[in-house]
Structure formats: structure tokens, C-alpha cells
Structure 1
Amino acid sequence: MFGIQNLLVRDFETAIVLRRGVQTKRLDAGRRVVLGRAEVIVFDRREVSLLDARLSEIVRSGLIDAQATVVDLSDNQRALVWIDNRFFMALSPGLFAFWNDPHAVRIEIVEIDDEGLQLQHPQLPAIVENSVAARLLDVCRVGAGRVGVKLVDGRFIETVGPGLYAFWRSGRKAQVIELDTRETQLDIGGQELMTADRVTLRLNVNVVYRVVDPARTVEATSDVQQALYREVQLALRTAVGQRDLDALLNDRDSLSVELAKSVEEAAVRIGVELVSVGVRDIILPGDMKELMNQVVQARKAAEANLITRREETAAIRSQANTAKLLADNPALMRLRELETLERVAQSGTLKVNVGDGRLTDKLTNLI
């Protein structure tokens, strides 16, 4: 452009004069005149960041050295930017510039290596909530009652306790896998199985376990419950297939003990301790349940008949003993007759039919 340019550069602005694409002069606040063919770029310093496609040329010119903080990050560097003591953004590799006025700018540069993949900072919660920083970080949270297994490129580094963890995204993959170390209940229900005597039934099993070796658990399986479920299921098929129905119904505790022993080795292999294993329910099919009820009813009826026969036998034996005793002792027999007469006399109205004989003789003989 030719001629004269009259400019008003306000207090919060900085202007850069370019002639033939080359930065030649910086214009500070005030009324300014630019002569000749020139391009003027006006920056608003309230925007904090100096954003321009020609930033590298502007930085190399040295015109903004006194007014801006320049950050040039290599591939193994990251930066945290604080504006007026508040977290503003995180920076990936590249060239950046921030105006020093009217804001207070503070830059923290972080080296990314084996030790620096994890971002450890007193204000980490505020950093990970920032949307810009979230794109540069992998964030992991370990809750109460849980433990975290820290891995770098799949290699175990250490176990960590509850807390917030963040790792810079780079060519290497760092992560924390969270595991619950409290006692956990696993219900294995509806397992349809066949006994040794070819009866089909369903079992429900309850398993209580806890993770005791987190590193081994992460190395051995990606899903603890699924791995344990599969092992218990296989052990259950084997144990039930070796027993007939009566053995299962009469001694389910031995089945629980055998299951625990069968699964224990696999549990240790995946870093898990079994707290308890128990068969909760044995469910028979409808027709088998009806047959079992009939068997139980028949057994109870037989027991009742046996008890009745025993009582009848005891009663007959008692009567026989009494009759023999009375036959051998006439006086005792007479006494029993008198007792019977006494009970009859006490029952209320007593009618005596003496027939044609004399009343006195009849009563005398009766007594």
C-alpha cells in the first residue's frame, strides 16, 4: 500500500510493521504514522496468546522479545501455562508466544522420558479438568479400597494406591489399571449339569474372592471375574459328573470342598485368593422333583406304618402279659373285677338286671 497510514494503537495493543513480508518495526500505544508501502498487523494483548501464521518470523525478528514470553518445545517436551496464577492450558511440541501484559504469565516446561511420562503436580486436579490439557493426557483414577497397577508399554512398573494419576501422551503408552482388592462375590447360576446316574439338574454356586497379587492378575487376565467363572464352571462339571443324585443331595458340602480345591491352583495363577466356595442351590427338573416328592412321601408313609405296627405290637404284648398275670393270680383277678365295678358305679346311673333269682344272691355273687 502506498502513501501514509495514520494509526491509533491502543494501550492493550501492539502493532508490527511489515515491509515486503519482513517485520521491520514494532509500534506501541499511541498515534502512529507509517510511511510508504507497508503492512501493519495489530495484536490485541488481552487475547493472551499470540496467534499468527507468521509467528516464527515475528519471533526471529526480536520485535516482541520484551513484550511476550516465547516457548519453543521439542518432541520430548511439554509445558504447563499459568495465567494470573490460574491454569490456562498445556502445550505440545511447537512454537508458542504469550503476551506478558496485561496478564502475568508463568510457563512450566516438562521433560518427557521414562521418569517424566507421569505428570506429578500439586494442582493436578485443576490441570486434568482443562479441556486442552485433557487432549494431551491419559488420566486414571484409583478409588478407595482399590489398587492401581502402573504399566509402561505393557511392562509392570509398580502398584499405586488410591488417587489421581495422569500421563503425557507420547510414543510410549503409560497407564494405570484399577483393581478392587476388597472381597468380591461371584454368583455362578443356572449351570445345567448331568450327574453320574444321568440325571439333569441345575446348580447355583457362590464364590467369594479377593485380589492379593495385582501385578500377576493384570499379567494373567484382562477380566478376573470371567477367568474365575470359567474355572469354577469347568470344575463343577467334573465334580457333578462323578456323583450320583443321592450323593449330591445328601452331601453338598463335600462338593463345595472339592470345587474349592479344584479352583485354588487356577486362582493363585491369576493372583486371586478364594475366601469361600459354596453350592447354594440344587434345582431339579419338574418331573424329577415330582418323583423325589413321591419317594419322600412313600418313605414317610413307610416310617409311619412301622411306628404304628411297633405300637400295636407293644400294646398286644402288654395285654398278653396282663392276662397271664391275672390267670396265675385269682385274688388279683378278683381285685381287678372290683375296680371295674367301682368305675362302673361312679359313671352315673347304674342299672342292675338280676333276672329271676333272688336279689341278695345276685349281689353277693357279684361282690
Structure 2
Amino acid sequence: MPGIGFLGAILLALFVIVPAVIKVLREYERAVIFTLGRVGRKAAGPGLVILIPIIQTMRKVDMRTFVHDVPTQDVISRDNVSVKVNAVIYYRVVDSVRAVVQVENYMAATSQLAQTTLRSVLGKHDLDEMLQERDKLNKDIQEILDSQTEAWGIKVANVEIKHVDVDTSMIRAIAKQAEAERERRAKIILAEGEFQAAAKLSEAAEVLATSPGAMQLRYLNSLQEIAGDQTNTIVFPFSINEIVDRMRS
């Protein structure tokens, strides 16, 4: 019986100590090991990691890409339009040691930085730019976040603005602006068409003026087109002088 008790104590000690000493890390995990409070230059893992009890402690870091929804932010654009904007960011840890040592909570820090950067960048642009140049704004936000999180061992891979919500009154104003813009473009296109037609008519008049035969052919061609419709009446113009000369003769 005493032997069984001693064996049980050993098994209990192994059951408690082994999980604290032997760690198995998955392929996407790394371990930042502290030895008497000091951290090594490189992280351990993946695979089997053995710790010295009491002397060493470990903190696991996930190296996969995180997808984080940036909460809806109230933004005032450069042209004083109030909008609500939300986005999504994709980031991952590239240096697990810095992610643990340089910042208390890299996930919360990246989230807060993304919110302030989103408001700051979009506040420098007009509403039209927010709606039409999202790719450029996404790139600007991504570059700013990436440069600021580099010291934490974080790589921001991508930023996507998902929604830009505008107040209903502003939607009506934008619709009126778009309608006015379409009318302006239509008038410009019509004016350009008239200008081009006038230029071609001027060139044709110069050609006909220098070639009487061409004028006659054009005249006969017009008569042929008119004669194709039986409802039309063809009128042959005569000069008054010619009529007077014929009457005298």
C-alpha cells in the first residue's frame, strides 16, 4: 500500500509538471520564451518546446492573418459632410518577439490605431473622393498603418473601406448634383457636335465654291433623294433675270 501511494504521488507530479514543461506548438504558432524575465532574440516553434520549470515562462503568438472589422466611425469630410464609415483590415504578426515585448496587446492597439487613422485620412478628402477613389484611400490607410505597426512586429496586408453611409438629406443633394452634372455634359456634347458639323459644312462649302461641277452634281443628287418620296414636290429654281430674258426673246 505505501508503494502504491508513492507511485500515485509520482504520477500526480508527472501529470502536473509535464504539461507545464513540455509544450507542442502548431505550425502557425510561435513561443516567446522568458528566462528569468529576459526574452530570447528568436521565438521558438513550431513543434516541441521544453521549458525549465520556474525559470522559464512562455507566451504563444498566433502567426496567421487576422481579419478585423473597424467599428463604424463618424467622419466629417473636407467639404463638411458628415458620413459614417466602416472598414476591414487584414494583418499578421511577422515578429512575435516584438509583438509581445513592444506593445501590451497588439490586437487592441492595432484596432485603435486603425480607427484613428481611418478618421484622420478620410477627413482630408471630399465626399466625392470617398465614393469614387476608394482604392487610393485604401492604399493610403494601409501604408500609414503598416509604417506605424512595424515597430510592433505587425504587417498590415490590406485595408478595405466597406461602407460610406450618407444622411438622407445629403443623398437628395448628391442626386441633384449628379443630375445637373449629366445635363452639363449633355449640353457640352451637343455643342461639340454642332461645332464639328459647322466646321464640316464650312469645308464642304469651300470645296463646292471652287468646283462648279461638284455643285451641279450635289444639286442633282439632292433632286434624286427628293424624288424617292412620291409625296414630295420638286421645285426648280429659276433666276428672275433668266425669266425676263426669255420673255423679251
User: TM-score under structure 1 normalisation?
Assistant: 0.50
Q: Once the 2 structures are TM-superposed, how far is the Cα of residue 291 of structure 1 from its aligned partner? A: 2.0
In structure 2, the residue corresponding to 1:243 is in which secondary structure? coil
Contact 1:182 1:210 in 2 (8 A): yes
2:153 maps to 1:271: yes
CA gap of 1:80–1:328, structure 2 versus 1, over 3 A, is same
Secondary structure of the 1:311 match is helix
Q: Is the 8 A contact 2:142 2:157 kept in 1?
A: no
Corresponding residue for residue 145 of structure 1? 28
Instruction: Tell me the amino acid that sits aligned with residue 147 of structure 1.
Output: R
C-alpha distance in 2 between matches for 1:282 and 1:205 = 9
Name the CA distance, whole Å, in 2 between partners of 1:117 and 1:347.
101
User: Is the contact between residue 65 and residue 91 of structure 2 (CA under 8 Å) also seen in structure 1?
Assistant: yes
Matched, 1:160 2:62: no
Distance 1:261 1:331, change over 3 A: closer
Query: Matched residues in 1 for 2:233 and 2:179: separation?
Result: 51
2-structure distance, mates of 1:331, 1:69: 129
1:69 to 1:306, Cα distance in 2 relative to 1, 3 A: closer
More strand by share: 1
> TM-score, normalized by length of structure 2?
0.69
Partner of residue 190 from structure 1, selected from 50, 69, 72: 72
Moved over 6 A (4+): 164-168, 348-353
Q: Going by fraction, where is helix more abundant, 1 or 2?
A: 2
Displacement of 1:299 in angstroms is 1.2
1:37 match? none
Distance 1:324 1:271, change over 3 A: closer
The residue correspondences of 1:53-92 to structure 2 (distance < 5 A) are 68=3, 71=6, 79-81=9-11, 90-91=12-13
Let me know the Cα RMSD of the aligned residues.
Answer: 4.3
Instruction: Give CA-to-partner distance per residue, 1:151-170, whole Å, 9 cap, x none.
Output: 477654673324577989x9
Please list every run of 5 or more consecutive structure 2 residues that lacks an aligned counterpart in the other structure. Answer: 236-249
- Deviations 1:300-359, CA, capped at 9 Å, x for gaps: 221111111222233344445545655665544433333333344555699889xxxxxx
Could you tell me which amino acid in structure 2 is paired with residue 149 of structure 1?
V
CA distance in structure 1 between the partners assigned to 2:225 and 2:145 by the alignment: 76
Separation of aligned partners in 2, 1:320 and 1:289: 47
Question: 220-229 or 322-331, which moves further after superposition?
Answer: 322-331
Residues 204 and 281, structure 1, Cα contact 8 Å, conserved in 2 = yes
1:340 to 204, 217, 222: 222
Q: What secondary structure, in the 3-state scheme, does the structure 1 residue paired with 2:224 have? A: helix
The one-letter amino acid paired with 1:160 is A
Larger Rg: 1
Alignment of 1:142-291 (within 5 A): 142-151=25-34, 156=39, 159-162=43-46, 176-221=58-103, 223-249=105-131, 251-291=133-173
